[in-house]
Structure 1
């Protein structure tokens, strides 16, 4: 279990450092950088889902989206409103080249260092362990037990 905790801590640290570096390079907030990274990966994302993925309040996610809008990196938030009043964050591809270059360099470095191969081998096993652990926690929560 200790190895999984160390891996989780490493990934959390990596995501934080990645977002901080991206935010500095784009001149945005860390929340905006994280939101942009997610939006670039998905093409667009609803603000309701974005705050869940970011692990922050809905207000912080909306603030990050408006920061991206002000920087010219995302479409005007109002223009992405759907018929059911859901707003989306949609990156403006032509303006996000710096973020794409940053991601490409990072991926190239991880490949060159052999990190990609190692992670590719271990991630399926870790995913299974995490899903089983989450399922067990959910079952305990539904059963009323508070001990993990």
Structure 2
């Protein structure tokens, strides 16, 4: 039985760009890393959630709405609500080339090291406390008899 091959053409249509734009809330920048007619990859200094809508400013057409489909650390894959024309993708590529923005370093979420804690001190203090309690119980019993 022959296996059907699936091809992800999406990658072929992507154009690498480095465009700094703003979120629709306007209080922090977003950096577009790549762009196609149907979506984009962006970098955000603030956490966004899958399903959130973003409004970004693109060359030639301005405000364009997209939905966040996935994320990896501070990078977000977005799908445009309405497909954008090839001319916008090429204009973004040209603006990116003219701006020569340095590549955004790809950060990954830091992994906190597992620290083994020495519980010896806590156990010694607990044992001393319990010994003191037992001694007081015996002392109270001796006084009452």
Under a length normalisation based on structure 1, what TM-score does the superposition of the two structures give?
A: 0.29
Which structure: greater strand fraction?
2
Under a length normalisation based on structure 2, what TM-score does the superposition of the two structures give?
A: 0.29
Q: Which has the larger radius of gyration?
A: 2
